[in-house]
């Protein structure tokens, strides 16, 4: 199967594995000290996790803005929201929100190192930005939505300022325990990464 590979430096591979188990509902294809990878079928993705705190640095990694999984319908976003919350992940839902020149429904979760992931669907294209303003910080996004990720940080093309945050869409948040009693899955062998 052809898939895109995404290799992430993480500060704690065990915490990252637990998060990605919950996010994708899958077990790692390979699990070694300081290393794991997932071979995800939908979307087709090879996710590689490398424990490398020195290279990763503090906060959300370098040039990474956010990561996303596009689905076909709002119902799929709702199903993902229920699955993620049921897996104990804190979620932030945005409905009918303008981002990246599109009207979208989405749910956000943050990985253990703070990298925001969204599951989203595009409801309609928007010819020009309808929510201009300065790019909010991660703390401002979390405060506004009361949860993780909780708003695309794509810059002035889609990030609302505090006064415009409710002009287009609705933001809700759910916090759930991130503790888990799940046991690690079996390690498997395979090629590099």
Instruction: Note the pLDDT tens digit of each residue in 124-182.
Output: 988 765 443 333 445 544 554 444 444 454 444 343 332 233 334 455 555 443 333 33
Q: Are 190 and 29 in contact (CB under 8 A)?
A: yes
* Shared-domain flag, residues 101 and 142: yes
Which structure tokens are listed for 73? 């319908």
Q: Confirm whether pTM is higher than 0.95.
A: no
d(CA 167, CA 191): 49
* Shared-domain flag, residues 166 and 73: yes
Could you tell me if residue 156 is left (phi over 0), alpha (psi between -120 and 50 degrees) or otherwise beta? alpha
Give pLDDT tens digits for 58-112: 666 555 668 889 899 999 999 999 999 999 999 999 999 988 778 999 999 999 9
Q: Is 57 part of a structural domain of the chain?
A: no
Percent of the chain with pLDDT over 70: 60
Which structure tokens are listed for 132? 């201009």
* Count of structural domains within the chain: 2
- Which structural domain, as residue segments, surrounds residue 31? 4-51
pLDDT of residue 120: 92
d(CA 189, CA 155): 41
* Shared-domain flag, residues 47 and 76: no
pLDDT of residue 50: 86
Q: Is 87 part of a structural domain of the chain?
A: yes
* Shared-domain flag, residues 44 and 73: no
Give pLDDT tens digits for 170-186: 555 554 433 333 333 32
Q: Is 184 part of a structural domain of the chain?
A: no
* Shared-domain flag, residues 36 and 105: no
């Amino acid at each position: 199967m052809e898939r895109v590979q995404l290799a992430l430096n993480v500060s704690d591979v065990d915490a990252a594995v637990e998060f990605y188990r919950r996010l994708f509902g899958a077990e790692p294809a390979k699990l070694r000290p300081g290393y794991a990878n997932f071979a995800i079928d939908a979307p087709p993705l090879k996710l590689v996790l490398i424990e490398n705190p020195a290279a990763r640095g503090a906060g959300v990694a370098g040039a990474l803005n956010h990561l996303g999984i596009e689905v076909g319908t709002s119902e799929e976003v709702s199903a993902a929201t229920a699955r993620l919350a049921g897996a104990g992940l804190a979620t932030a839902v945005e409905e009918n929100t303008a981002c990246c020149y599109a009207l979208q429904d989405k749910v956000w979760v943050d990985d253990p190192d703070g990298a925001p992931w969204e599951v989203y669907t595009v409801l309609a294209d928007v010819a020009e930005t309808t929510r201009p303003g300065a790019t909010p910080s991660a703390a401002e996004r979390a405060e506004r939505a009361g949860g993780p990720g909780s708003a695309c940080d794509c810059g002035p093309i889609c990030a609302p300022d505090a006064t415009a945050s409710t002009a287009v869409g609705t933001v809700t948040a759910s916090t759930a325990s991130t503790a888990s009693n799940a046991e690690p899955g079996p390690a498997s062998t395979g090629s590099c990464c």
